[in-house]
Chains A and B, each alone.
Chain A
Amino acid sequence: MTTNGSGPLLEVEGLVTRYPVPRGIVGTLARRPRERVHAVEGVSFRLRRGEMLALVGESGCGKTTTAQSVLRLVDPDEGAIRFDGTDIMSLSHRKLRPLRRRMQLIYQDPYESLDPRFRVRATVEEPLLVHGIGSKAERRQEAERALELAGLSPAALYLGRYPHELSGGQRQRVAIAASLVLHPDLLVADEPVSMLDVSVRAGILALLDDLRARGLAILMITHDLSTAARYADRIAVMYLGRIVEEGPAREVVDNPQHPYTRALLSVVPRPDPRDRVAPEILRGETPNPVDVPEGCRFHPRCPLAIPECREVDPELRRPAAARSERHTAACIRV
């Protein structure tokens, strides 16, 4: 496959994805206007090979929808998505198929993402079968290689197993192996460790880190800021469908600019009981993405809100107190 080695592997610009909310009989008869869930409302970012970007946010912020839109598992409404230079927004699903091999998704739930009736061998070989790659012997070899790469060694010990014989961490590695078998360029990991025991998480995260070092681009969706801080190169914080802050991971965590990011970081519990931070607990909950506030979408809950915030919808720009050029935040007060 030809690769544009220097440019970013993935470029997303102004992505918008909305879901219609079903109206029900009364709504249809009364001709009520169709409500839409504004899941993703203008998201832009770039991802290079060998880089890990963490999309961080709470539920309803649109991070999962963004990932699904990028993979075209959900069709976006507006925006541009360029994968290795090719615009994939306009491609038909058939034309998309060869490109799909280069972008793989790792799911959150290792207990549900493997077909219980398939042995490990069948699960890992399936992508090759689906895309008609290799002979039986070659598929077997590729599967073993992928399992070893995913840390399940010796692969022969695992090939004949059923998912229920494996632990959560092992199952997640099988899922990762199944995605590696197609030699992808981009891995999207949706909360890859949130359902695993703490003692097992580092192993999986280290594996992802290792894959990144080997040149894969990784888009990690997570709600866990500590994990993002440690493993990602860059963090993008999302709120109600927009990125409200983005920058190098360390910078965003040590020097947060957007009030939402600050509040989030302040309420993350610390393992050291002596490490007491005054938590900025925001009142209420994230509003329903059907009903996005006017102006800055965060202003109803923002401790720094002024009247102007109700009118202006801020763009991402470099805050005054930022220490890095690439650190941006969408707030008129910083």
Chain B
Amino acid sequence: MTTAPAAELLTRDPSDFEEPRRRRHAVWSVIRTQPQATIGAIVLLAFVVVAALAPYIAPYDERAKVGDVFEAPSSEHWLGLDDAGVDMLTLMLHGARVSLIVGFAAALVSMLIGGTIGLVAGYFGGKTDVALMRLTDYFIVIPDIPLMLVVAAIWGRSLTNIILIIGLIYWTTTARVIRAQVKSVRERVYVKRARALGAGHLRVLFKHVLPQVAPLLVAITVLSIAVAIFAETAIAFLGLGDPTLISWGRLIENAFSRSAISVDAWWAVVPPGLAVVAVVLACTMLGRALEDSLNPRLRVGHLSVRHFRLRNLRTEEAR
């Protein structure tokens, strides 16, 4: 019988270790491999680039009257003119900036609020959790449109206010999803171990818990962008938007209030609407694909039909 050697007598050959996985960033790998995510990401990126370059690529000035009210599309004005005789394409490009900025900023606000609340509630549990979830419930219940009306009436209709309102209304989903994930990560042995050896809450949260939760947070935030853009469109459509800024919702509102449809001026209504749909769809596709891969509760792969394949041994020997 051999006595147990004190040192783990392993071969010195590094290739004997398991194949080291290159450190994949979960989010990036989903975008690379899943078609839904790739398309969504590309479309979103395209819109962002176009919006960023708007002042340079827009054919006309966004305030210049260049023709008649609701002039039809032509070779000089691809999307025709709006109710003030301004070039629609220019307005679309400038509108993209506002809509996207509001969308991203509001999503960021909701990620910060929802992420923090979810993290704190899930990690500390107990009374803190109960209190925070009660708060979340109150916010879920608040009706968005009346709130926006009230805020617009009291504090005025500025871009900052709109971003804040949207962020403040829609953080609740993020909070709940993150809280659930944090609760499960918190129970992992390595987290308990870190606590047991004396690591403070902050260290455990930032070094051990947050990295596990971050990819999912990204996924939820992407989905929030979609919601935020849609919300901004609704707000602007109701006339509660910032009067000094052009956004897609505002364009639709303008068209409606000047009865564009009754003069068959579809080019004043349809392009902004389609743009909103396209961006929201892109965000949704990307966000859903990320969430499906990253949210462990959504794993359903094991429910698929499983059939193994047969091989002919003789062909194996021939190999």
**B283 nearest CB across to chain A (Å):** 28
Instruction: With a 10 A CB-CB cut-off, give which of A113, A154, A166, A182 has the most chain B CB atoms.
Output: A113
A151 near B18 with CB under 8 A, answer no
How many angstroms from the CA of A101 to the CA of B4 in the assembled complex? 29
**B189 nearest CB across to chain A (Å):** 4
3 closest cross-chain pairs (CB), A and B:
A206-B4, A112-B189, A202-B4
How many angstroms from the CA of A166 to the CA of B14 in the assembled complex? 11
B193 near A107 with CB under 8 A, answer yes
How many angstroms from the CA of A130 to the CA of B207 in the assembled complex? 12
B7 near A153 with CB under 8 A, answer yes
B189 near A113 with CB under 8 A, answer yes
Q: Does A162 lie at the interface of the complex (its beta carbon under 8 Å from any beta carbon of B)?
A: yes
Q: Does B309 lie at the interface of the complex (its beta carbon under 8 Å from any beta carbon of A)?
A: no
**A92 nearest CB across to chain B (Å):** 14
Q: Does A23 lie at the interface of the complex (its beta carbon under 8 Å from any beta carbon of B)?
A: no
Q: Does A322 lie at the interface of the complex (its beta carbon under 8 Å from any beta carbon of B)?
A: no
A205 near B198 with CB under 8 A, answer no
What chain B residues lie within 8 Å of A154 (beta carbons)? Answer: 12
A113 near B193 with CB under 8 A, answer yes
**B20 nearest CB across to chain A (Å):** 5
Q: Does A164 lie at the interface of the complex (its beta carbon under 8 Å from any beta carbon of B)?
A: yes
Given contacts A112-B190, A115-B208, A173-B8, contact A161 B198 (CB under 8 A): no
How many angstroms from the CA of A113 to the CA of B195 in the assembled complex? 12
Residue from B6, B17, B199 within 8 A of A206 (CB atoms): B6
What chain B residues lie within 8 Å of A71 (beta carbons)? Answer: 196
How many angstroms from the CA of A78 to the CA of B197 in the assembled complex? 24
What chain B residues lie within 8 Å of A112 (beta carbons)? Answer: 188-190
B198 near A131 with CB under 8 A, answer yes
The A-contacting residues of B in range 227-284, CB under 8 angstroms, are none
How many angstroms from the CA of A127 to the CA of B194 in the assembled complex? 8
The B-contacting residues of A in range 171-212, CB under 8 angstroms, are 173, 175, 178-179, 182, 202-203, 205-207, 210
The residue in chain B whose Cβ has the minimal distance to the Cβ of A104 is: B197
How many angstroms from the CA of A114 to the CA of B197 in the assembled complex? 13
A151 near B203 with CB under 8 A, answer no
The residue in chain A whose Cβ has the minimal distance to the Cβ of B19 is: A165
**Chain A interface residues (CB < 8 Å from chain B):** 71, 73, 97, 100-101, 104-105, 107, 109, 112-117, 126-127, 130-131, 151-154, 157, 161-162, 164-166, 169-170, 173, 175, 178-179, 182, 202-203, 205-207, 210
Residue from B17, B198, B211 within 8 A of A130 (CB atoms): B198
The residue in chain A whose Cβ has the minimal distance to the Cβ of B10 is: A170
**Chain B interface residues (CB < 8 Å from chain A):** 3-8, 10, 12, 14, 17-21, 188-194, 196-200, 203, 208, 211-212
Residue from A130, A152, A178 within 8 A of B8 (CB atoms): A152
B4 near A126 with CB under 8 A, answer no
How many angstroms from the CA of A97 to the CA of B198 in the assembled complex? 7
**B23 nearest CB across to chain A (Å):** 8
A170 near B8 with CB under 8 A, answer yes
What chain B residues lie within 8 Å of A126 (beta carbons)? Answer: 194, 197, 199
Given contacts A112-B188, A164-B21, contact A157 B12 (CB under 8 A): yes
Total A-B pairs in contact (CB under 8 Å)? 81
**B279 nearest CB across to chain A (Å):** 33
What chain B residues lie within 8 Å of A203 (beta carbons)? Answer: 4-5, 8
13 additional A-B residue pairs with CB within 8 Å, beyond A115-B208, A116-B190, A179-B197: A71-B196, A100-B197, A105-B193, A113-B189, A117-B212, A131-B198, A152-B7, A153-B8, A164-B18, A164-B21, A165-B19, A170-B8, A173-B8
| Interchain Cβ contacts under 8 Å between A and B, 30 examples | A73-B196, A100-B196, A100-B197, A101-B198, A105-B196, A107-B192, A107-B193, A112-B188, A112-B189, A114-B190, A115-B190, A115-B191, A126-B194, A126-B199, A127-B198, A130-B199, A151-B7, A151-B8, A157-B14, A161-B17, A161-B20, A162-B21, A164-B18, A164-B21, A165-B19, A165-B20, A166-B17, A202-B4, A203-B5, A206-B4
What chain A residues lie within 8 Å of B192 (beta carbons)? Answer: 107
How many angstroms from the CA of A194 to the CA of B6 in the assembled complex? 19
The residue in chain B whose Cβ has the minimal distance to the Cβ of A111 is: B189
What chain B residues lie within 8 Å of A205 (beta carbons)? Answer: 4
A117 near B211 with CB under 8 A, answer yes
How many angstroms from the CA of A299 to the CA of B208 in the assembled complex? 47
**B155 nearest CB across to chain A (Å):** 42
**B185 nearest CB across to chain A (Å):** 10
How many angstroms from the CA of A207 to the CA of B8 in the assembled complex? 10
A210 near B193 with CB under 8 A, answer no
How many angstroms from the CA of A170 to the CA of B7 in the assembled complex? 11
A166 near B197 with CB under 8 A, answer no
How many angstroms from the CA of A128 to the CA of B167 in the assembled complex? 41
How many angstroms from the CA of A71 to the CA of B194 in the assembled complex? 14
What chain A residues lie within 8 Å of B189 (beta carbons)? Answer: 107, 109, 112-113
**B198 nearest CB across to chain A (Å):** 5
What chain B residues lie within 8 Å of A169 (beta carbons)? Answer: 8
B6 near A151 with CB under 8 A, answer yes
What chain A residues lie within 8 Å of B5 (beta carbons)? Answer: 203, 206
What chain B residues lie within 8 Å of A166 (beta carbons)? Answer: 17-18
**A25 nearest CB across to chain B (Å):** 14
What chain A residues lie within 8 Å of B200 (beta carbons)? Answer: 130
The residue in chain A whose Cβ has the minimal distance to the Cβ of B13 is: A157
The residue in chain B whose Cβ has the minimal distance to the Cβ of A203 is: B4
**A93 nearest CB across to chain B (Å):** 9
**A311 nearest CB across to chain B (Å):** 41
What chain A residues lie within 8 Å of B199 (beta carbons)? Answer: 126, 130
**B314 nearest CB across to chain A (Å):** 35
**B288 nearest CB across to chain A (Å):** 25
How many angstroms from the CA of A206 to the CA of B193 in the assembled complex? 23
A207 near B6 with CB under 8 A, answer yes
